[in-house]
A = this chain, B = another copy of it.
Amino acid sequence: MPSVTFLPSGVTVEAEVNESILDAARKAGLAVEIPCGGKGICKKCIVQVLSGGVIREDNPLLEKDMLDEGYALACKTLLSDPTQVRVRLLSNVENEKGVFSEQSEDIMLVDPALLPSKDDLQPLVGLIEITPVQPVAGDGRSDYDRFVIALRGALDSALDSGSSLDVDLPLALLRDLPEVIREDEALRVAYHIVGSLVRVVDVLPAKSASDEASAPARLGIALDIGTTTVALQLVDLTSGRIVASKTDYNGQIACGLDVISRINYAQKPDRLEELRSKVVKTINHLLQELLEEVGGQAARIYDMTVAANTTMVHLLLGVPPEYIRLDPYVPTVYEVPLYTAADLGIDICPAAPILIVPSVGSYLGGDIISGLLCTDLSKNTDDIYLFLDIGTNGELVLGNGDFLMGCACSAGPAFEGGGINQGMRASLGAIERVSVDPETGEATYSVIGGQTPKGICGSGMISLVANLLRSGWIDFAGQLERERPCKAIEINGRSATYVIEPAENMRVAVSENDIQNIIRAKAAIFSAMYLLLQNVGLGFEDLSGMMIAGGFGRYLDSDDAMAIGLLPKLIHDKVHFIGNTSVSGAHMALISARHRQLLFEVAHRMTYLDLSTELGYMDQYSAALFLPHTDASLFETIR
């Protein structure tokens, strides 16, 4: 067996002959980034073989001089002999926490008329106090018998349900029952009802439950699992109030940046389990941090609502996602039955039911259905609205009280910093705004956190492209000006680069290729909007409003977005940014029975438009590959 030593850490592991460097690195606990899912095309897993024996696959991405210096793609290079390898560790994902805006403020971006009222407050898991008969000689009934009779009686009178309810008590709670039932005459039971079945979630002596009066009697979780980030809210189920919230990167990022890469990565069974356990670890870690912060008990978290895209749902469940991307694109599950926290490995009360917001298409998931609760599209109205969620993918829903039509487009990760040479997420050190001097063509810029720039984020790219266009330093096709001399523009043969910050130790520059990636992303989204409207015989002028959700949407300047052709001029004063609607919708469904029902109504009303089979989409897309568009009349004139 070849042993492999990884520098700079110096950790050594034993590898199998013909094992890839990537697999050996994972064995060594190293986080090697593979946005493409290990297919040898993204070049992010590049390593340098310092000594020893490896077998490299031919790869056009690696030029001869790099090969000579020992560079190799970890995913496509197999080990044959003892080897020493230098790796580039994932810098801004697992080793550095992101900076996330406080999501609990997002709910304030939602129209108050859409939020649950006090009367709506009804979590899936209820609490009821019961007083079983105490054990006496000659009674002939067991603890379990007396418990079931008392619970059924209390529920029948509380719910007026008749006496046909069956009780489902998990074995773990039966094990505690003899002590609990003798500790106090009154018991507090957490339960939920499915059909004619009462599922018991927890049983506590009422005494000990009220001893903890300072802590909430029952907690719930609203969870948004994005491809990139996971947002978690801890909610007091009695008041509906958000107790605390936290966001972190999805631990699966190391296995691919977008859903397609994750699906590819998951094709081996042990890798599906790796992805499943990675996101569960992210969730449990966020949870633990939150509980330490507010001092709550994991065992009192009785309920959880999860909003996520179709692929993330499959991965959370450990269900193979591959049929999502294989013709005829039929996923394994849209409406997930109520599994328990124990089934999913989530560290809360083991019998807590997990409500997963239903998905409606391979690429139109529960995150969008959840998000619709935060928009006028969930209302009974004749006005037409368009909902747009820009994340790693772009999803769009058009409709009113009569119809809903949704679609998804692969905008690519450019708006989140992916596919951009010095791109990064909107975290500390990212350039977020760039002004361009019309005379000299040179840049002035602002950085998140006011620090030394490390790279540029999506809104920074849009700001840059918009201002280069306004000042005439790029043309409609995204080509940098080559005729007028400009210190900021470096020309190398047929390609050109725009230098935002020239200082050697903090240089940030953007290539024409980077600009093309932004153009392709905005073209994908704009043409999807256009086609969706066209499909129902409408135009932008018919929209009463447009709601933009997603972490990226939060930082977007609508003038800049119109300047590059991402948003049409016609809706200038009708755009609302409404933050992370996925987690806000999950929160509403967690605490309100009416909103839970609304989720399923919205999902059942939705028609899914598959753009990949839609004639005319490619024409629209090609027409949008200009700044702002071949049909400039749709956009604000360039200022």
Contact = CB atoms under 8 A, between A and B. Distances in A.
Contacts of A317: 171, 174-175
Interface string A304-345: 000000000000011110110001111111111101000110
Contacts of A177: 319, 332
Given A331-B142, A333-B144, A319 B195 contact: no
Interface of A: 135-145, 166-169, 171, 174-175, 177-179, 182, 194-197, 317-320, 322-323, 327-337, 339, 343-344, 360-361, 608, 610, 613
Contacts of A194: 166
13 contacts: A135-B330, A136-B328, A137-B329, A138-B328, A138-B610, A143-B330, A166-B194, A168-B337, A174-B317, A174-B333, A175-B317, A177-B332, A178-B319
A443 B229 CA distance: 86
Nearest to A167: B337
A332 B174 contact: yes
Contact of A332 (B178, B323, B331): B178
Contacts of A343: 171
Contacts of A339: 171
A138 B336 CA distance: 20
A169 B135 contact: no
A615 to B, nearest CB: 15
Nearest to A331: B142
A304 to B, nearest CB: 15
Contacts of A182: 323
A274 to B, nearest CB: 15
Given A166-B194, A330-B135, A178 B323 contact: yes
A196 B193 CA distance: 13
A610 B167 CA distance: 30
Nearest to A343: B171
A329 B141 CA distance: 10
B330 A142 contact: yes
A64 B319 CA distance: 69
Contacts of A335: 142, 144-145
A143 B330 CA distance: 7
A331 B143 contact: yes
8 closest residue pairs by CB, A with B: A135-B330, A137-B328, A144-B333, A143-B332, A178-B332, A142-B334, A171-B343, A142-B333
A364 to B, nearest CB: 11
A171 to B, nearest CB: 5
Contact of A333 (B143, B329, B337): B143
B135 A323 contact: yes
B334 A145 contact: yes
Given A332-B142, A334-B145, A318 B175 contact: yes
A168 B179 CA distance: 31
A142 B136 CA distance: 53
Nearest to A338: B168
A143 B323 contact: yes
Nearest to A328: B137
A140 B610 CA distance: 11
Contacts of A195: 166, 195-197
A319 B176 CA distance: 7
Given A144-B336, A171-B344, 17 more contacts: A135-B330, A136-B328, A136-B330, A140-B361, A142-B331, A143-B323, A143-B330, A144-B335, A166-B194, A168-B337, A171-B317, A174-B317, A174-B319, A175-B318, A175-B320, A177-B332, A182-B323
A46 B344 CA distance: 49
Contacts of A135: 323, 328, 330
Contacts of A360: 140
Contacts of A323: 135, 143, 178, 182
Contacts of A139: 328, 330
A177 B197 CA distance: 25
A336 B171 CA distance: 10
Given A171-B343, A195-B166, A613-B137, A178 B327 contact: no
A39 B176 CA distance: 26
Contacts of A136: 328, 330
A141 B360 CA distance: 9
Contacts of A166: 194-195
A332 B169 CA distance: 13
Contacts of A179: 320
A56 to B, nearest CB: 34
Contacts of A167: 337
A228 to B, nearest CB: 25
Contacts of A140: 360-361, 608
A135 B323 CA distance: 10
A189 to B, nearest CB: 16
Contacts of A608: 140
Nearest to A607: B140
A608 to B, nearest CB: 7
A327 B135 CA distance: 9
A572 B580 CA distance: 85
Contacts of A331: 142-143
Contact of A196 (B171, B196, B330, B332): B196
